[in-house]
Chains A and B, each alone.
Chain A
């Protein structure tokens, strides 16, 4: 290949002119926001930072958030990690996992077991839980990745149910129906402090996910998802890289599980039922496959909807209709995500396959200092056929 470095462009001959299609060759003039533009963007960023950092700490905030509310925010941070983890499988690799609640549960119980029964410190328990999560994903992947599509999804589904019914039923490991109560690590005992710790983990996972998509592994996944034949002709070991995605996803999910275990007062096997896996898939697809910002927003939204909390606290209380459902006819609000989720899924797949990420693309680009263009995000649509079992 030294010839390339030695004499680039030598081959250029006079008559070989290229007719460029209209999409190419328009040199984009660099857009620079005005001072007011920068100021507006700064305000938008400040508002975002305020929402993520200040509100949970009741700092400069009109809301008065207590223990339970913070608990939901912790769940939101955990769900973000889970959403990013599932995005690696569904979004980057194109394989669907219906057993992700088991990945999360294994991380949760592993960390809980190590801390409660073996007395291992949080800072060692979480990495070990992550490694165990990676190993179990590798084993499941090595066995089941011989299948693709719907049948692969079925195997992961079976794995999720099997884990819930058997592994999580081992009383010595999970405490059985009594569950396990984990105390938060030193220095992060208050829910608010623990929330910030979870944010730290979210930042780390965001970094890793960003680097994954920008480097060798991420490109290999993209190639093998779109065209495994081309990928292998580029020298990509399709099976190995699918497994790599599986392991990475398993590690992220296990870390999320470990954080989840510390966020709750008590974890029981019933926490990791199939309905949770459903929420995970809904939030990832509705958030927008392969769209980091979209997945984050989708995950936060679904986390806050867990048990109908968002509606109970912000909507029903304000409008004053909570007497109607839960207090009135005794209908628990936990149905809300399971009804709203599929509706959002249908809307996503029929009108905006790119999910929330596609919808917010103009705002995101604007916040990153580019010109506001309502049509941003249309070109790189996720195709509906992409979201396949």
Chain B
């Protein structure tokens, strides 16, 4: 049984068809990459999967269960964890505090017991902090545990974000541009980390990234979106050499001026992609 099944999902915002008839399947322990130029609908797809948007039509199934209408926090409870394109962390606290907050569902007392301050809550708080430290250690982030999130550089926040999602104890990890703000070398390390995470936690990963070499290296299967539709899908190498993909990414088709302007807006990622292709 596949972990995640997106079945014929479409979403329209007024006249804008952000996603049209998207089908996507993610199997157990797979790493699936989603690529595509900016504005292709990748993040919108994530928002449909995690429940921030409800699709106009179609359904989302998680381990065979239809979750299309479920609110976000219930999907988290089922084991869907996600990161955000523009760093989803509570900025005014420390990294450690964020990881403890992320263990909301793991916390073994209810909120009222916490307010009353029963002795068991103190012990549980220590356990949560310990577990947060272990996850930070695992992600090589133990040095920044006490740092305020707002003071850290972007590239590191992307890693902290992954650590925070891991703290929610997910089965399915949706990563929205985990490699943005990282240089080629850091992105390579990120790839190692992702493969290691799958091995250690047994998580299934879906990732959006512009970093084509990273995606093709770690993914088992790749979807390429463009203008809200699946342009092509397949093994990483096939997708990467697919002429449509090359055209969508590099925007060389004179018939599609919009594509090239969209791609130009994302200059660093596109440039990197261009270098890799040449």
Residues of A participating in the B interface, judged by any CB pair closer than 8 Å: 1, 3-5, 7-13, 15-16, 18, 20-21, 23-25, 207-208, 210-212, 214-220, 222-223, 226-227, 229-238, 241, 244, 248, 379-380
Contact = CB atoms under 8 A, between A and B. Distances in A.
B78 to A, nearest CB: 10
A190 to B, nearest CB: 31
Given A210-B117, A211-B117, 10 more contacts: A3-B201, A4-B138, A8-B138, A11-B193, A15-B189, A215-B109, A215-B117, A219-B97, A232-B73, A235-B76
Nearest to A245: B111
Contacts of A248: 115
Contacts of A231: 90
Nearest to B185: A15
A216 B201 contact: no
Given A212-B114, A217-B111, A232 B90 contact: no
B133 to A, nearest CB: 8
Interface string B75-101: 011000110100011111100010011
A292 to B, nearest CB: 14
B277 interface: no
Q: Which among A16, A214, A215, A241 has the highest number of chain B CB atoms within 10 Å? A: A215
A352 B169 CA distance: 40
B117 A11 contact: no
B147 A23 contact: yes
A141 to B, nearest CB: 15
B148 A241 contact: no
B131 interface: yes
Interface in B212-265: none
7 contacts: A11-B196, A212-B115, A216-B111, A222-B90, A227-B90, A229-B52, A233-B82
A20 B143 contact: yes
A1 B201 contact: yes
Contacts of A21: 147, 151-153, 156
Interface string B167-209: 0110000000000000000000100110010001110000000
Nearest to A233: B82
Interface of B: 50, 52, 71-73, 76-77, 81-82, 84, 88-93, 97, 100-102, 104-105, 107, 109-112, 114-117, 121, 125, 131, 134-135, 137-141, 143-144, 146-148, 151-153, 156, 164-165, 168-169, 189, 192-193, 196, 200-202
A25 B144 CA distance: 7
Contacts of B156: 18, 21
Contacts of B114: 211-212, 214-218
Contact of A236 (B104, B112, B151): B104
A230 B135 contact: no
A237 B151 CA distance: 28
B141 A18 contact: yes
B138 A220 contact: no
Contacts of B138: 4, 8-11
A226 B131 CA distance: 24
A235 B147 contact: no
B54 to A, nearest CB: 14
Nearest to B102: A234
A134 B84 CA distance: 36
A234 B117 contact: no
Nearest to B117: A211
A233 B117 CA distance: 26
A379 B151 CA distance: 10
A313 B165 CA distance: 58
B92 A380 contact: yes
B203 to A, nearest CB: 10
Contacts of B192: 13, 16
A235 B189 contact: no
B103 to A, nearest CB: 8
A305 B4 CA distance: 62
Contacts of B152: 21, 23-24
A352 to B, nearest CB: 17
B163 to A, nearest CB: 11
Contact of B143 (A13, A16, A25, A222): A25
A355 to B, nearest CB: 16
A133 to B, nearest CB: 15
A211 B134 contact: no
Which 3 residue pairs across A and B have the least CB separation, nearest first?
A: A215-B114, A217-B111, A211-B117
Contacts of B117: 207-208, 210-211, 215
B73 A236 contact: yes
B156 to A, nearest CB: 7
A235 B146 CA distance: 23
B76 A234 contact: yes
B125 to A, nearest CB: 7
A236 B103 CA distance: 10
A336 to B, nearest CB: 35
B134 A219 contact: no
Contact of A7 (B111, B121, B148, B200): B200
A235 B168 contact: yes
Contact of B76 (A10, A23, A217, A232): A232
B104 A216 contact: yes
Nearest to A380: B92
Given A18-B156, A21-B151, A244-B111, A214 B125 contact: yes
Contact of A233 (B88, B141, B148, B193): B88
Contact of A232 (B72, B134, B193, B202): B72
A30 B124 CA distance: 27
A321 B168 CA distance: 64
Contacts of A232: 71-73, 76
